[in-house]
Structure 1
Amino acid sequence: MDALDAPAFTLRQLSFLVCAADEGTVAGAAARLRVSPSAVSDALSELERSLGTRLAVRRPARGMTLTSSGAEVVARARTLLAASRELEGSLRGAPGELVGPIAIGCYPTLAPTILPPLLERFGQQHPRVSLEVVEATHDRLEHRLESGELDVAFTYDTLVHGQPRRATLFELIAHVVVAADDPVAGQERVRLADLAERDLVLLDAPPSTQHTLSLFAAAGVAPRVRHRVQSAEAVRALVGRGLGYGVLVQRPAVPVSFEGRPLAIREIEPAVPPVGVEVVWPAGSEPTERTAELIRFARAQRWTVATGAAA
């Protein structure tokens, strides 16, 4: 039999056998289980047919006696039934208590914003829920959602394909970041056209690459890309050293580079369209109660638009 094939017998049949062995009679097992004696008798007969061996000798006047095979099956059934109860208990808590795992996917650049408040606060409220995090690119997130490997994912709205269920948590607006001593730092707002002849440190990681270039295209100019890097922290680090300017969506709570160099964040003029940050879950099946509660929790947070962090 293949390891993935289901056995021919059921846990219900095993529980009936164990109960009958404990009570010594089919009638006693039926009374304890609150079923008819015929239901117990039929379950035992079906179990014997499935296993291909006689498990008990049933005599109406003298009760039931286990055969040697029956005694072995009862011993193993007790272990199997205990394991099944433990499995059920690990996924079902007291009334109102959420128990079990939630597989959470998150786009990497959103992880520092979404995960800390989510894991801390939801974890405190539901300590028996195990939150398992997977950071992955949008194509891998999409595949894992469709396959059921992930229960929920957090990503940018521009990355969501197909027809999953989704809800917007907050929106972020792209900004220009420059060194604190850059002449642009003295302006309240910056036109992308005025930056076209300056060096751009490009966050070259989808969807940021396409998003940034689309903003320049909408402004009718092409940027002069000097450096291409894979993380927002790298952009801020190079900008802090005066090696160009950056265009980013995520905003740190403190405007400094990784090296501690001061930065200035300036809004783009004219205003550019915001980018939505969404929670996404599969459309093919209803989420578990604990996953549904996580979705409600995320949607209920007062996410601040400036940093994306939960207030």
Structure 2
Amino acid sequence: MKVVFLLMPRLHLLDLSGPAQVFSTADDLGCPYQLHYVAEQEDVVTAQGVRLRAETVWPVTGPDDLVVVPGWRSPMLKGGPRPSRETLGRLVAHHAGGGTVASVCSGADLLGQAGLLDGRRSTTHHELQDELAERYPRTRVERDVVYVVDGRVVTSAGIASGIDLALHLVAGQHGPAAAARVARSMVVYARRSGEESQDSAMLRHRWHLRDAVHRAQDRIDASFAEPLRLAELARGCGVSERTLTRQFVESTGLTPLRYQQTLRLERAEHMIGHGATVDAAARAVGFADARMLRRLRSRAA
């Protein structure tokens, strides 16, 4: 998957480096990404004074690829960068061809200039939301959210929210366990948008920084349908069974077994929602029969 960053003058370094680090780390962990940096001129001066060198020729992109527009320093959107028709046309053509476009902070203004926000929900930095709504009245600006996904147009609030946006996209492409591994490697919280509930237990219970518990979760995530042997799990994490259980509960509110059951239940519900019988779903997620699954479903109801 290609990730193409479109760089504008006076861009914020973290708007760029946050998402770039997510995709780069994902690539290091076996989720393949190719990162490209394009601009209308080779030298791009950032808001923090660092000069970046970009390509002026765009790579060929397809439906599986992503174009990201980092934001720039500006007290207002008015007076910000005004890219050429060719650049805006690139954004439009990529989206029309089935690709995804995303923005961080004021980068939403470029998507607005390209007409990609029309008829869609969007967001940006809280200091720019009113102006975004005024400049592009055909978009519905969502407030107090980290990012908004509307089809293949993704906008985020500002600065560090680009990390959350990128983690969400990695989760969509490679699964929540992969996104959680990336977040752990970067020592950041794996989190989702403030506009929606955490729809994956693999991400929902990662709001902690305990390494042993993260390692235990990684192992359970990868094989939650297999029998859970606490002694082996603790040994693999380098702690005692008692210590692992205590830290796991303190970090997630669940025992390792209950966490495994939560993953099994979540997967089973997904399968049942797509036409599987309760018996078939129970077997697929590791239950010996459907009785335990039925009990867990009744508790969650």
Q: How does the TM-score come out when normalised to structure 1? A: 0.23
Larger gyration radius, structure 1 or structure 2: 1
Q: How does the TM-score come out when normalised to structure 2? A: 0.23
Structure (1/2) with the larger strand percentage: 1
> Higher relative contact order by CA 8 Å / sep ≥ 6: 1 or 2?
1
